């Protein structure tokens, strides 16, 4: 397959694994492992937004934290501008982290309630020993303006802000070091819809203005579609499908993606929606199903094949990768 | 305090009679629920009127703090201090629930009105099995034997789609997934065939594929029973799926009410229009979302006039000055479609720029 332009990824995740030990029994020995992330690989290119979508427990948050080493991965590599983040230590890691920031879902619990927000925002500058107090102060005011807040907000405390404003503060804090890459972990799911739109537009504006690269982690498909250039769908610790946004949403090739899309409530009460209702719940990652992890809920699973052999990601159309033995049926 | 609501009542009766000719099951008239906080009086629900017909699904939609949940808790008389129902009437088949003694209310709850919540797991008692909790509902309200109650409980679990109900009946809440727990809550709520079910964000805490299952279940139950539902949600998609009629709430007031299809076809209130434009829709990606600027106002020491005025794009577009002086009424624009906005209502010295059959 001919690649039009060979782009160099800003972030490349290779064979990432994160297993959590489960202890039990009298001696509290390790009796099992939860395979929260099990062999995940993808790349994020400069200036793009990669959406990472899936239901709770699929491992999307664990992936995002492992990339920033907020969780130590069990295996794999995360290459950021040619350097392996997971192997970096001490000073190297600190330097890398200047370029990689995160915005969390709950902007309230991620801010120190006893610190004026200006100081919370400036803290990263202090940690990295950047600037004089005066320069730091001015930089704080600059990022506050960038996220649509006023300079007088710097002296206020987190409880004096609304949810949407607090998320703006979270974004300001991520921007203060002038990073190249920001992980956005469910940044709008705690917000009311009218506020959600404000924050989504702000994130788009900042990306255009500052050339930022985003990993946008969320469970809401419509929000992910809105903001992403490419989208990866995760199920039980693995990537089920990854493709450019329009390809994925106009022609989903994995039966799980199709079910996920059909589960979105209709937009108008008069619409007739054919819904694929998946039976059962997401199985436990403690004991994932054999073969394809989706096979017990899959409407097209073939027993004897899908429950035995685990499908690998295959590029069925340009840049459209699917981990399903029978995805050709949907082309 | 109830004397002055009489005129409102007759108005509500004439305007809300389109529900397939059925008499209203529930009438909420001029409901006011205030919270007496240290900072002042918070007018969480400030004069809400609506009716629910038998068997209909009535949606209450709005963002956090709009008063939708406090409205439902008021109907159940579950508002705790510093909150207080200060005015209004809540008529269930003509009987005023606000006039009932608490002991009488206990008999209304569960038997006539029941409720399901957003967090099913925190609504279940962790130390009792599912069956024990459903049986308790029967034992409190109905004079039946343990065996009958258990059989009924298992039958209910089967109806709400719990797999292997005989075995699952003996499970404890922590052994259930979120979707199963919500099914159990629905089973308990429907145990006594109540006339009215209040569902407060029933699918908000659930994953997408599980939400679809629960919406599907609620649709089946709606068709199979004549229980009316008040569906409280922030999600217009859930409204589109389930509701027959819908009221949009903003800052303690209903700002628009209509049948669901009309609301989605022709939203009249600038807030409803803004809300619809600010939601990303799957399959319709656009460059930018429409935005409602600013935040919901504090409900303590509200300014006079329309509560949405400070965020309203239409007010600026039409240069209306009355919005910040006088509060508009909820008026009927076309049969069954009401809106509270100066774009449509006349007033001394104010000619509304949009009139009947208008909208945009």
Mark yes or no for CB contact B280/A200 under 8 Å.
Answer: yes
Specify whether the CB–CB gap between B77 and B97 falls below 8 A. Answer: yes
Cα–chain center distance at A295: 25
Last residue within a domain, chosen from B152, B167, B193? B193
The reply to whether A270 touches chain B by the CB within 8 Å rule is yes
Contact B324, B306 (CB under 8 A): yes
What is the per-residue pLDDT for A5? 56
Give the pLDDT band (50/70/90) at residue A17: very high
Chain B: closest CA distance from residue A331 (Å): 18
Is B102 in the same domain as B134? no
**For the domain that residue B77 is a member of, what is the CATH number?**
3.40.50.300
> What is the pairing mode between strands B253-259 and B337-339?
antiparallel
The answer to whether B251 and B66 are in contact (CB under 8 A) is yes
Summarize the confidence of residues B265-280 as an average pLDDT.
93
Whether B291 and A204 lie within 8 Å, measured CB to CB: no
Q: Compute the nearest-CA separation of B93 from chain A (Å).
A: 29
Enumerate the domain spans of chain A.
11-99+179-330
pLDDT at A6: 65
B118, pLDDT greater than 90: no
- Residue B33 C-alpha, separation from nearest chain A C-alpha, in angstroms: 23
The answer, for A237 touching chain B at a CB cutoff of 8 Å, is no
Contact of B175 with B189, CB cutoff 8 Å:
no
Task: Answer whether residue B2 is part of any domain.
Answer: yes
The average pLDDT across B34-49 equals 93
pLDDT at B10 over 50: no
Binning pLDDT at 50, 70 and 90, where does residue B14 land? very low
> Are B233 and B89 members of one domain?
yes
- Same domain for B140 and B269, yes or no, is no
What mean pLDDT is reported for chain B?
87
Q: Which among B23, B62, B89, B3 has a CA at the least distance from the CA of B255?
A: B62
* Peptide bond connecting B82 to the previous residue in cis, omega within 30 degrees of 0: yes
In a domain, B268, yes or no: yes
Same domain? For B156 and B59 the reply is: no
Residue A192 tokens read as 């009311």
B260 contacts in chain A (CB < 8 Å): 269
What is the structure's pLDDT at B15? 38
> Per residue in A67-117, pLDDT tens?
999 999 999 999 999 999 999 988 999 999 999 999 988 777 888 899 999
Q: What is the pLDDT of residue B359?
A: 43
Phi, psi of A166 (to 5 degrees): -65, -35
Residues B99 and B146 in one domain: no
Q: Mean pLDDT throughout B140-168?
A: 87
CA distances from B328 to A202, B8, B51, B254, B309 (A): 33, 15, 20, 11, 11
**Buried/exposed A15-44: b ≥16 CB within 10 Å, e otherwise:** ebbbbeeeeeeeeeeeeeebbbbbbbebbb
Quick: pLDDT tens for A29-46.
888 888 899 999 999 999
Give me the domain span that covers residue B133: 121-193
Beta-carbon contacts of residue A68 (< 8 Å; ≥ 6 apart): A85, A97, A100, A102, A183
pLDDT band at residue A2 using 50, 70 and 90 as cut-offs:
very low
| Residue predicted with more confidence, B7 or A233 | A233
Co-location of B21 and B85 in the same domain: yes
A277 touching chain B per CB within 8 A? yes
| Residues B21 and B144 grouped into a single domain | no
Q: Is B52 exposed, middle or buried (0-12, 13-18, 19+ CB in 10 A)?
A: buried
Q: Return the closest-CA partner of residue A190 out of A209, A210, A165.
A: A165
Q: Where residue B209 falls among pLDDT bands split at 50, 70, 90?
A: confident
Q: Indicate yes or no: CB of A265 within 8 angstroms of CB of B177.
A: no
- Put simply, whether A264 touches B (Cβ < 8 Å) is yes
Task: Please tell me whether residues B134 and B213 are part of one structural domain.
Answer: no
**Chain centre distance of CA B180:** 23
The reply to whether B243 and B204 lie within a common domain is yes
Q: What is the pLDDT of residue A254?
A: 97
Contact assessment for residue B55 and residue B224, using Cβ atoms and an 8 Å cutoff: no
Q: Using the predicted structure, report yes or no on whether residue B1 has a pLDDT greater than 70.
A: no
> Chain B contact for A225, CB < 8 A?
yes
**Residue in the block written with tokens 């001015």:** A138
Name every residue whose Cβ is closer than 8 Å to that of residue B28 and which is 6 or more positions away in sequence.
B48, B49, B50, B51, B71, B75, B88, B89, B90, B91
Structure confidence at residue A307 as a pLDDT band (50, 70, 90): very high
Q: Residue B60: is its pLDDT beyond 50?
A: yes
Placement of tokens 């001696």 in the chain:
A27
Residue A276's pLDDT band, with cuts at 50, 70 and 90, is confident
Q: Is the pLDDT of residue B169 over 80?
A: yes
Identify whether B49 is part of a domain: yes
Please count the structural domains in chain B: 2
Cβ contact, residue pair B295, A193, below 8 Å: no
Q: Residue B76 in 3-state DSSP?
A: coil
SS3 state of residue B47: strand
**What percent of chain A shows pLDDT beyond 70?**
98
pLDDT above 70 (res B3): no
First and final C-alpha spacing in chain B? 40
Q: Provide the token pair at A119.
A: 């100081």
Looking at the predicted complex, does its ipTM rise above 0.90?
Answer: no
User: What tokens appear for A249 in the block?
Assistant: 């949403």
Does B360 have pLDDT greater than 60? Answer: no
The answer to whether B259 touches B247, Cβ cutoff 8 Å, is: no
Tokens of B130: 């599912």
DSSP string of A184-231, one letter each residue:
EESTTTTS-HHHHHHHHHHHHHHHHHHT-EEEEEES-HHHHHHH-SEE
- Mutation choice for A interface testing from B250, B269, B278, B290 by most A CBs within 10 A: B278
Which of B273, B296, B319 terminates a domain? The answer is B296
Q: Highest mean pLDDT range out of A100-104, A262-266, B297-301?
A: A100-104
Q: Are B197 and B115 in contact (CB under 8 A)?
A: yes
User: Which residues of chain A neighbour B266 with C-beta distances below 8 Å?
Assistant: none
Pick the CATH number of A11-99+179-330 from 1.10.3720.10, 3.90.1150.10, 3.40.50.300, 3.30.450.370: 3.40.50.300
Residue of A nearest to B261 (CA): A269
Residues from chain A contacting residue B234 (CB–CB below 8 Å)? 192-193
Give the pLDDT score at A143.
94
Average pLDDT over residues A276-281: 80
**pLDDT higher than 80, residue B7:** no
- A11 pLDDT more than 90: yes
- Which pLDDT band, with edges at 50, 70 and 90, does B123 fall under? confident
Shortest distance, CA B103 to any CA of chain A (angstroms):
38
Distance separating alpha carbons of residues B252 and B165, to the nearest angstrom: 42
Is B216 in Cβ contact with A267 (below 8 Å)?
no
Same domain, B101 and B173: no
Residue B159 has pLDDT above 90, yes or no: no
Q: For residue B138, is it within any domain?
A: yes
Q: Give dist(CA B110, CA B193) in Å, integer.
A: 9
List Cβ neighbours of A243 (8 Å cut-off, separation of 6 or more). A230, A231, A253, A317, A319, A320, A321, A322
């Amino acid at each position: 397959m001919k690649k039009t332009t060979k782009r160099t990824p800003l972030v490349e995740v290779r064979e990432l694994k994160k297993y959590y030990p489960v202890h039990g029994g009298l001696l509290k020995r390790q009796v099992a492992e939860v395979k929260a992330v099990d062999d995940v690989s993808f790349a994020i290119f400069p200036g793009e937004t990669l959406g990472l979508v899936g239901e709770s427990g699929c491992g999307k948050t664990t992936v995002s934290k492992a990339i920033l080493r907020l969780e130590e991965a069990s295996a794999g590599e995360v290459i950021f501008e040619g350097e392996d983040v997971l192997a970096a230590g001490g000073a190297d890691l600190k330097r890398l982290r200047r370029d990689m920031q995160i915005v969390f879902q709950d902007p309230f619990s991620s801010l120190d309630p006893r610190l004026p927000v200006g100081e919370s925002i400036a803290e990263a500058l202090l940690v990295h020993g950047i600037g004089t107090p005066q320069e730091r102060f001015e930089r704080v005011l600059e990022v506050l303006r960038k996220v649509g807040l006023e300079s007088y907000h710097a002296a206020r405390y987190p409880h004096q802000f609304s949810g949407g404003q607090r998320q703006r503060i979270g974004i300001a804090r991520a921007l203060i070091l002038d990073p190249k890459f920001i992980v956005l972990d469910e940044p709008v799911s705690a917000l009311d819809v009218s506020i959600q739109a404000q924050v989504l537009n702000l994130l788009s504006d900042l990306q255009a203005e500052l050339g930022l690269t985003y990993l946008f982690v969320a469970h809401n498909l419509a929000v992910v579609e809105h903001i992403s250039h490419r989208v990866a769908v995760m199920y039980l610790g693995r990537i089920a499908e990854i493709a450019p946004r329009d390809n994925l949403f106009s022609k989903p090739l994995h039966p799980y993606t199709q079910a996920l899309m059909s589960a979105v409530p209709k937009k108008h009460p008069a619409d007739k929606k054919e819904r694929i209702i998946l039976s059962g719940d997401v199985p436990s990652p403690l004991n994932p199903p054999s073969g394809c992890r989706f096979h017990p809920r899959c409407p097209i699973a073939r027993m004897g094949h899908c429950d035995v052999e685990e499908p690998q990601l295959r590029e069925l159309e340009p840049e459209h990768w699917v981990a399903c033995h029978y995805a050709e049926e949907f082309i | 305090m109830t004397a002055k609501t009489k005129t409102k009542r007759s108005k509500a009766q004439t305007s809300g009679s389109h529900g397939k000719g059925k008499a209203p099951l529930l009438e909420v008239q001029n409901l006011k629920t205030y919270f007496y906080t240290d900072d002042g009086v918070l007018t969480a629900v400030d004069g809400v009127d609506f009716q629910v017909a038998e068997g209909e699904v009535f949606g209450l939609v709005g963002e956090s703090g709009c008063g939708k949940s406090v409205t439902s808790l008021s109907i159940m008389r579950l508002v705790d201090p510093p909150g207080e129902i200060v005015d209004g009437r809540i008529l269930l088949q003509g009987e005023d629930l606000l006039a009932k003694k608490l002991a009488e209310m206990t008999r209304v709850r569960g038997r006539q009105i029941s409720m399901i919540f957003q967090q099913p797991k925190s609504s279940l008692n962790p130390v009792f099995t599912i069956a024990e909790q459903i049986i308790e509902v029967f034992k409190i309200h109905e004079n039946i034997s343990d065996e009958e109650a258990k059989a009924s409980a298992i039958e209910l679990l089967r109806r709400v789609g719990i797999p292997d109900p005989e075995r699952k009946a003996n499970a404890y809440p922590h052994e259930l997934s979120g979707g199963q727990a919500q099914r159990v809550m629905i089973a308990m709520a429907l145990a006594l065939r109540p006339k009215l079910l209040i569902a407060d964000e029933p699918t908000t805490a659930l994953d997408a594929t599980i939400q679809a299952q629960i919406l599907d279940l609620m649709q089946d139950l709606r068709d199979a029973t004549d229980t009316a539902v008040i569906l409280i949600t922030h999600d217009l998609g859930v409204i589109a799926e389930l509701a027959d009629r819908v009221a949009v709430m903003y800052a303690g007031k209903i700002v628009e009410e209509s049948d669901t299809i009309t609301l989605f076809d022709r939203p009249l209130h600038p807030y409803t229009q803004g809300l619809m434009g600010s939601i990303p829709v799957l399959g319709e990606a656009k460059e930018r979302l429409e935005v409602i600027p600013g935040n919901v106002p504090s409900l303590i020491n509200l300014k006079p006039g329309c509560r949405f005025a400070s965020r309203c794009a239409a007010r600026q577009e039409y240069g209306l000055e009355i919005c910040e002086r006088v509060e508009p009424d909820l008026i009927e624009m076309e049969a069954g479609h009401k809106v509270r906005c100066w774009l449509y209502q006349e007033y001394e010295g104010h000619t509304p720029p949009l009139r009947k059959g208008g909208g945009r």
